[in-house]
Every structure is written in C-alpha cells, then in structure tokens.
Chains A and B, each alone.
Chain A
C-alpha cells in the first residue's frame, strides 16, 4: 500500500480543542483549522476568515476513525469519506451546517449530507 495522497493534518491534542468539520467530518484542533483550514473543503476559506471556524466546525461529534486508506477501506465507503484525504474523521457530528454554508456547498457542487437526527 502506498501513500498516494497527502494526509490531512493529524490532531495534535485530544482535548476540548478537537473540532470536526461539519461537511467532511475531518477532525483537527481549532488551531490546526486556523492554520490550514479544512483540507477537504477549501471553499470554506477558513484560513482567510478564521471566524468561520465556529460556523463550519463543531466540537460536538461522536466517535473517531483514523482513515489510512480511504480508497480501499470499507469503513470509508460506509461513512462516505472514501473520496477524502487520509486523516482522522468523526463518525457523526451533532450539528447541521448552516443554511448559508449549505448553499455555498451547492454552489461549489460539493455534496453535503446533513447528520441524521434520531
């Protein structure tokens, strides 16, 4: 198995700073998002507008999965992160992306699946 792609940043700490991107569920720390934005969702332009971090990421997420090889992982397919970069992802997020952000996704023709509410 080769590493064909560049992995996303791996979280450097495991406490309260961990946040998950509401669209792709990538998990990183607040600071990491501020530094390099979301690798899977560049259109959010987090680096340019750090305030967005609060809007597009959430600390409320459930379960963590380290995805080493999304292309060949069954789990990745199941979780619909097969197309994303290797890295740490959340199994589920507790918040829905705001309306504005959803329309942004549509404009970019990027898929957004809201979390299932039980």
Chain B
C-alpha cells in the first residue's frame, strides 16, 4: 500500500478548521472523498498534510475549500520525512496551584504570578499578581472624568493600599468569594487581597514553562504578611520547576519536605528523580531514596562556595549564614554580603577576583576606568581620575571598548604599594590588596609614582617618565626577535618599550615620533648598526650611521631608545628619554666599534638567553657568561652591590639591573633577567658599560647621570663598558684612561689623531701625539679620546677589570674577547677586548 503525503498550503490559522471541514465533507460525501487523512500541526500553521493514493484525489478533495489557496502546486513529502509530519512534541504543562507563571500579555506582561486556582473546563486560571495600578487614573475613570491615558505608561508594581484608594474616593467593595470563602476587595472590577491582585486569565496568556522566579521577585511576593511557610511553599515549587539532575555525588543536602524534613545527608547517587543519600542516622535505610524535589543543597557557614547561576553567577565567597534555602555569602570580589539560593551554589575553593580587570571606555563622557565590580546590569567603574577616586556606574552599552594593557610594574603610591594593573594615558591603576575601597584599585598619575623594586620598568630617574612611557606602551611583554639587540639598547626606555617597538615600523605611521630616535637596524646590509633617524619617508627611514646616512626599511629597525609610542601624547615622553641620548650619540662611533660587541658578547649570551624567553622576567637567572666578567673582578663583585638598583645615585631605578642601574633601560631588560637579584649578574648583563668598568671601578655618580638618559645606554654596550662610556660619561673616564696606551684623539674641528696617553690627572689627559707618543703633548678630555683596539701580538695594557694596570701580550682574539698573556705572572686570561688597550712603551 503506497502512501503519499501532500502538503497543502492553507491560510494561517485555518489549519484545524480545514481539517475538520474535510472530515465533515467526508462524512457527507462518502466515497467521493478518496483521501485517507488530513493532518494539521500546531507549529506549522500554514500547511496541512493530506494522505492519499493519488494527487488527483487530493485535488478533488480540496476543491472549493475555503482557507486553501487555490491552484497551488501540489508537492509531495519525501518518504523519509513522512513520520516527521506526525511527530509532535508533547509539552506537559502541569498547572497546579502555587505554580509560578509569567504573564504573556497586557500590563503585566513578563510579571511573575502565582496560580491560585485552575479551571480546566474553561481553560482559565486565577493568578495572583503584584498590582500595577495607577490610582489617580482609576479614580478619574470611575468618576466618569476624562482620563488621559498616558501612552506606554506602565505603572510600577506596588501593593494595593486600600486606604489610599479610599482617599481618592474610589469605591471599594468588600466581597466574599463563594468558592474560597476569602474576602476580596473589589475595585473597579478588579479583585484585591492582601495587597495582591487576583486575576482570572486564560491559559493561553500565561507561560508556565521555565519560569524561574528571581530572588528579588520572590521576596517581593512573599513580603506582605506571609509567614515562612508560605515562602517555603513558593520555593518548593520553585525547586519543582528546576532542571533535573543538578545534585552531584558528594553534595551535602538537606531534606526540605515530607517526613524526613531537616534531615541532613550526603548524596550518594543520583538517579533521575530519585536521589540516594547517606544520612548516617540510625534507623534509616542507608542509602535513603529521596525525591529530588524534596532535597536542597546544604552548606555550612565557613564553606567556600561559588555561585553558578542566577544573578550573582560567577561570584565566589564564604558562607556566613544559612537560612533554609537562602545562603548569605561574603563575596570575595566585592567583600559584600550576597544572598543567593542554595540551589545556585556549589562548593568550590576557587576564588574569583572577578571580571574586574578590564579597562574600559565609555562614550558619553569619554574617559576610561577600571571595572571594580559587576552588578546586574551595570558596572561599577573606578574612573581614571588620579586626583580623587571617582566611581561611576556604567551601563553595559555605554562601554565602548576594552582597552588592553598588560604591564606589571611595581609602584609605590603615597605610601601605598602595589602592582600596576593597567595604564592608560598617563594614569595608572594600581591594585593594592590592602586598600579597602574600590575593590583595591587606586588611580594615580604616573608622575606621582616611582618604581619599587624590580626591573623591567627600566627605571628612569624620573619614575614618572618611565611610567608614562609605559602608559603609552602598547605591546605587552615584548620579546623581540632578537632580544640581544636590545640588550644594550634597552637603555632608555625601559627596554620593554623598545621591544615592543620592534615592529614599530609596521605600526601606523608615527613618523614624527621616529625622528631623532636612535634605532637599531635589524635587517639588511646594515644589520646591527645603530643610529639616529634623520628622516622618515613613508615606509623607509634614513638612519645616520657613522658619518654615513643610509636608508632602511621601516620594519628593519627597532627602536632602541625611548619609546615611540603611537599616541601623540607619548611622544613627549619619548623626547624626554631621548634627550639624554643625544649627548651620547655623538660618541656613537665607539659603539660601532667592535668594542661594543666584545663586551657584549658574553653578556649577550648570558643575558640574552633568559631574556629571550621572557623578556621581562626579572628573575631569569643570569647565566655563566657573567663569569667572564667576573674573572677579573672578584672585587668588583663586591662593589657591584653598590650599583644595585639601590645605589643611591640611581635610586630611581632600583633594580632593574643592578649596575645597569643606569641602564635602567636596557639594563632593564636584562634586569629582568633577574639581575636585580643577582648583583653580579647585574653587572654581567648590564649592558651598561659601567658594569664592565665597574669591576673594581666605582661607577661614579656621574654615570648615574646617565640613568635617565639611558639612551646613553649605548655606551652601555656590554663590554665596552668604560671604553664606550668614557666618551659619554665624563666621569668615568678615569676608569680606562691610563698612561701608556694608544688612543685616538677626536678634537672638534680636527682630524683624528693617534696619541699616547702619558698622564692622567683630574679628569684630563696629557696625550703625546703620534703613534708612539713622540709628538707634541696636548691636553685632552677623555671624551675626546678613544682606545685604539689592539691587534694580535700587540703588547696590551689592561685598562679595566681585575687586572687593570697589567701589561700583557695579546696572543689571540676570540670574537670580542682577547686572549692575553699577562707578563708579570705569565697567566693567560681571556678578557674583553674593550678593556684592552695597545700599550706603548714610554
């Protein structure tokens, strides 16, 4: 028997009518109608399905039928889908008294209501609602006066106060309901009792599925003079409507209904509606089967819980009070008392710090702030106003965007201390656990903060600067492709930024900010060179290298110094950082010299490695390379601590790199590497040349002057240490200037000359011109002198490190190190070329 089903398009809503009509037609016509059945589905109101042998039968049957679109093309339902036609989801709406429902239509649309009576015959229920009555309008209406109906005005829900109504001369009738025997107040045809309104509505105008009253609604409902039992009743139906199966094995539960009420136990097993619990009570079967509806989760004060549904979803806290179904929890996040249903809570040791760490922006009053608390529909935001804490309540839609800043810098604020969580526009948001207000956030101007401990920040003398720089800093922990490049560079800006800036080239055109800054070239034939940007042309920049200007691709450079932040404001800062640089720039040359690298090498390796992985990790241990430096300077080690970030001159910087103290920046990067902890390391890493020189040689405060400058960092080039530094830092000159060494003299306006230092006094040197010192003697400042790197087999004088002052022979060169055979003890040492100068026999 072949069965075919034909869908027939009908007028919406006319499905059942048509079906019944066809039935009638069948009864009347008998065998004329050859269709077998007709189906009308509730959820497909525009089609009916006819079961018949042939299409012709269908056509005949529907001829002349109202509600059917004439002349329609008759299709066929594929066999596979035939059963679907007959499948209906049967919704079980068990409406009973005390069920919670919601109104679908009218003034009370969406409102929670409780069923008080069900009339199945007439498909109506009587529900209890919180009235929304405009008494004034009602009074006017009843008096026959004109009522101006305010459009779309929904009176707020409020309990009906009979006396109030009476005052307005509204007629209130007291009636007795024959069915229930209760007294009702009849006002204008509406029934009221106990402040509630009782209304008879059809089943169709209420929603009975998935009606979960919120805690507030329930409270409201149960407020007026209802005893605890009533509330209980409400809650139990609430539970009845709950989704099944949310008890888990191990949950502590309590029986809330029936004979075993108030029995506590633990869930052993959950089996659909029955939950097996172990109660440990004698005389009871163990495990005991209890209906899920009769159970409720139980918590004890002191439990740490997490709210998993409801208004406060996501909050964690400690239970402080248990009140039947309601728990009062002290929220971890907001330190407030929160009331939640036991149902919505699970035990958890998770502590939510909340979704509070988002920096947001809102539109009406363009500003920014940090979310410190989540409320139901709005956020409480601590505005970015450093002068005073300002809190605003911001609605979700007013939030423009989330600003992502990820920087962690230790900062001190008016005695308060804490890590900086967000930075934006020069304003810092510091999180202090001990701060009781605003979820621990403090808003401060970066200029009023200085860095405490740590590193990375590339402490600038002017804490503010670095911080502000940070604020502009867009990229999170940078790990530039070649951290090593940075090492030295870091200077200045807190390496961090520099790193971030690697790709700067690619970042939007901030031409102006590039100009003048010293960059390091990463790619191309000029890789490794450093120089100031003299011109910016679209995608390429022109960098001045050692008296030569080259053009490189924007992407090939990395910003060494000062952060060039995209935002305009920031450039200010960059400039700041740049300043110190300038002076250092001049002696750029030295940097270019191998010396730079020599020193660098060991350091780089050591430092670099850790850095690479975690650019800003201050704790990265310093690696061996350091030892290179150590060699000569056991003593210096001792001194290094001086230079610890703590070192007075550099106070600003604290840590970052001990020693790098100055470097702050670059050092900073290194410091991350853990320098702060390890003094010696600091030295090692500190690009700051100082370190090199340091061993043994005190870095004079003058060096510190460079701190801010850092950019001076260049000199920092590891290894070069003093050498490099000297030009830069006048003060340090003494470090490497020693008699009888060959130097290059760069007097202003003159060509460079060779000369031999004959005497050093008071910061100036007496230099005899000529490669062997036979020429005239002139006075020169260390800044005008530069060590001539020795060649293999030269006699050298060691001008830095442990063996400063010793004479030896350079028997070999290894990268940036030199192998020296010291004359006095015939020891063979490997020293950085930077501290080796060609010795000229007086």
* CB-based contact A66/B86 at 8 Å: no
Q: Are A87 and B89 in contact (CB under 8 A)?
A: no
Segment of A38-46, A89-97, A104-112 engaged in the interface with chain B: A89-97
Q: For the complex, is B30 an interface residue (Cβ under 8 Å from A)?
A: yes
Interface residues on A, range: 35 or more
Which listed residue (B20, B22, B86, B89) contacts A79, Cβ 8 A? B86
**B26 adjacent to A68 (CB under 8 Å):** yes
Q: Does residue B281 face the partner (Cβ distance < 8 Å to A)?
A: no
Q: Are B123 and A75 in contact (CB under 8 A)?
A: no
Residue B37 CB within 8 A of the other chain: yes
Of B39-47, B145-153, B307-315, B417-425, the stretch lying at the interface with chain A is B39-47
A74 adjacent to B42 (CB under 8 Å): no
* Contact A73:B83 (CB < 8 A) given known A14-B16, A64-B39, A92-B90: no
Q: A3-B30, A16-B123, A74-B1 are in contact. Are A67 and B90 (CB under 8 A)?
A: no
Q: Are A54 and B121 in contact (CB under 8 A)?
A: yes
Instruction: Please report which residues of chain A, range 37-74, place their CB below 8 angstroms from some CB of chain B when the two chains form the complex.
Output: 54, 58-60, 62-69, 72-74
B170 in the interface, Cβ–Cβ < 8 Å? no
**Chain A residues near B30 (CB-CB < 8 A):** 2-3
Q: How many angstroms between the C-alpha atoms of A14 and B39 in the bound complex?
A: 15
Nearest residue in A to B32 (C-beta to C-beta)?
Answer: A1
Interface residue SS majority, chain B: mixed
- Asked if B19 and A64 sit within 8 Å, CB to CB, the answer is yes
Decide: B23 and A88 in contact? CB cutoff 8 A.
yes
Q: Is B38 an interface residue (CB 8 A)?
A: yes
Of the residues B15, B34, B83, B91, contact of A62 by C-beta under 8 Å? B91
Q: With A3-B30, A16-B122, A66-B20 in contact, do A94 and B91 touch (Cβ < 8 Å)?
A: yes
Complex CA–CA separation, A117 to B746 (angstroms): 97
Question: Do A54 and B90 touch across chains, with their CB atoms under 8 A apart?
Answer: no
Query: In the bound complex, do residue B26 and residue A11 qualify as a contact, i.e. CB atoms below 8 Å apart?
Result: no
Flag whether A21 is at the interface (Cβ < 8 A). Answer: no
Asked if B91 and A67 sit within 8 Å, CB to CB, the answer is no
A73 touches B24 (CB 8 A): no
Quote the shortest CB–CB distance from A51 to chain B (angstroms): 10
Cβ contacts B333-345/A at 8 Å (1 or 0 each): 0000000000000
**B33 at the binding interface (Cβ < 8 Å):** yes
Asked if B371 is an interface residue, CB under 8 A from chain A, the answer is no
A34: shortest Cβ distance to chain B, in Å? 11
**Residue of B with least CB distance to A55:** B120
B469 to chain A minimum Cβ distance, whole angstroms, is: 62
Q: How far is the CB of B34 from chain A (nearest CB, A)?
A: 6
**With A and B bound together, what is the CA distance between A72 and B24 in angstroms?**
19
Report which of B17, B83, B120 forms a contact with A78, defined as CB distance below 8 A: B83
Q: Which residues of B contact A67 (CB under 8 A)?
A: 36-37
- B3: A residues at CB distance < 8 A: 73-75
Knowing A3-B30, A72-B36, A75-B51, say if A65 contacts B19 (CB, 8 Å): yes
A75 contacts which chain B residues (CB < 8 A)?
Answer: 3, 5, 36-37, 39, 51, 85-86
How long is the Cα–Cα vector from A65 to B36 in the complex, in angstroms? 10
B19's nearest neighbour on chain A, judged by CB, is A66
Which positions 1-59 of chain B face chain A at CB distance < 8 Å? Answer: 1, 3, 5, 15-17, 19-20, 22-24, 26-27, 30-31, 33-42, 51
Of A66, A73, A115, the contact of B22 (CB 8 Å cutoff)? A66
A94→B92 CA distance, assembly (Å):
5
Known contacts: A59-B123, A78-B83. The answer to whether A117 contacts B20 by CB under 8 A is no
Complex CA gap A106/B22 in Å reads 34
- The reply to whether B33 and A68 contact each other, CB–CB distance below 8 Å, is yes
Within 8 Å of chain A (Cβ to Cβ): is B93? yes
CB-defined contacts of A87 to chain B, threshold 8 Å = 23
| Most chain A Cβ neighbours within 10 Å, of B15, B51, B202 | B51
Chain A residue with Cβ nearest B15 = A64
A22 at the interface (CB under 8 A from B): no
The count of chain B contact residues (Cβ–Cβ below 8 Å) is: 42
Instruction: State the Cβ distance, A85 to closest chain B Cβ, in Å.
Output: 11
- Residue in B closest to A12 when the chains form the complex, CB atoms: B20
Partner of A65, one of B34, B40, B120, B121: B40
Query: In the complex, A60→B202 CA distance in Å?
Result: 13
Interface pair B39/A91, CB less than 8 Å apart = yes
The smallest C-beta distance from A58 to any residue of chain B, in angstroms, reads 8
Among A16, A54, A69, A116, point to the contact of B37 (Cβ < 8 A): A69
Report the minimal beta-carbon distance from B43 to chain A, rounded to whole angstroms.
Answer: 8
Q: Which residues of A are found within 8 Å of B27, using beta-carbon distances?
A: 3, 7, 10, 86
B 117-133 to A, binary, CB cutoff 8 A, 1 in contact else 0 = 00011110000000000
Q: Find chain B residues with CB under 8 A from A117 CB.
A: 90, 92
> In whole angstroms, how far apart are the Cα atoms of A7 and B93 in the complex?
31
Q: Which of B371-413 contact A (CB under 8 A)?
A: none
Kindly supply a per-residue 1/0 record for chain B positions 69-94, scoring 1 wherever the CB is within 8 Å of any chain A CB and 0 otherwise: 00000000000001101111111110
Contact between A59 and B90, CB atoms less than 8 A apart:
no
Residues in B whose Cβ lies below 8 Å from that of A11 = 20
Are B90 and A73 in contact (CB-based, < 8 A)? Answer: no
**Complex Cα–Cα for A83 and B596 (A):** 101
Nearest-neighbour CB distance to chain A for B80, whole angstroms, equals 14
Bound state CA distance, A116 and B90, in angstroms? 7
Contact B37 A68 (CB under 8 A): yes
Residue in contact with A91 in the complex, picked from B22, B86, B122, CB distance below 8 Å:
B86
B37 touches A10 (CB 8 A): no
Contact B36–A73 (Cβ < 8 Å): yes
Determine whether the beta carbon of B89 is less than 8 Å from that of A118: yes
**Chain B residues within 8 Å of A3, by CB:** 26-27, 30-31
Q: Looking across the interface, which residue of chain A has its beta carbon closest to that of B83?
A: A78
Contacts of B92 in A (CB 8 A): 94-95, 115, 117
Nearest to B87 among chain A residues (CB) is A91
Residue A76 CB within 8 A of the other chain: yes
Residues in A whose Cβ lies below 8 Å from that of B17: 14
**Chain A neighbourhood of B26, CB < 8 A:** 3, 7, 66, 68, 86
Residues of chain A within 8 A of B1, CB atoms compared: 72, 74
For window 1-31 of A, CB contacts with B under 8 Å fall at 1-3, 7, 10-11, 14, 16, 30
Q: Which residues of A contact B41 (CB under 8 A)?
A: 63, 91
Complex CA gap A87/B163 in Å reads: 58
C-alpha spacing A1/B53, complex, angstroms: 11
CB < 8 Å: which of B36, B87, B91 contacts A69?
B36
Contacts of B202 in A (CB 8 A): 16
Q: Taking CB as reference atom, which chain B residue is nearest A3?
A: B30
Chain B 201-215: CB-based contact to A (< 8 A → 1; otherwise 0):
010000000000000
Residues of A contacting B86 with CB < 8 Å? 63, 65, 75, 78-79, 91
Contact A73 B42 (CB under 8 A): no
CB-CB under 8 A for A88 and B19, given A62-B88, A63-B41, A118-B90: yes
Residues of A near B87 (CB, < 8 A) are 91
A16–B201 alpha-carbon span in the complex (Å)? 13
Cα distance A67–B23 in the bound complex, in angstroms: 7
In the bound complex, residues from chain B placing their C-beta under 8 Å from that of A63 are 39-42, 86, 88
Bound-state Cα–Cα, A68 to B61, Å: 12
In the complex, are the beta carbons of B90 and A68 less than 8 A apart?
no
What is the minimal beta-carbon distance from A42 to any residue of chain B, in angstroms?
20
Nearest-neighbor residue (CB-CB) of B123 within chain A: A16
B30's nearest neighbour on chain A, judged by CB, is A3
Q: Is the CB of B88 within 8 A of A92?
A: yes
Q: Which residue of B lies closest to A53 (CB)?
A: B121
Residues of chain B contacted by A94 (CB below 8 angstroms): 90-93
Docked pose: A49 CA to B607 CA in angstroms: 97
Report the 7 A-B pairs with minimum CB-CB distance, sorted nearest first: A74-B3, A66-B23, A92-B90, A73-B36, A66-B38, A62-B88, A65-B39
12 A-B contacts (beta carbon < 8 Å): A7-B23, A14-B17, A54-B121, A58-B120, A60-B93, A62-B42, A65-B86, A66-B37, A66-B38, A68-B33, A75-B85, A91-B41
User: In the complex, given contacts A10-B24, A79-B86, what are 8 additional A-B residue pairs having Cβ atoms less than 8 angstroms apart?
Assistant: A63-B42, A64-B40, A66-B19, A66-B23, A74-B3, A75-B36, A91-B87, A92-B89
Residues of chain A touching chain B, judged by Cβ–Cβ distance below 8 Å, are: 1-3, 7, 10-11, 14, 16, 30, 54, 58-60, 62-69, 72-76, 78-79, 86-88, 91-95, 115-118
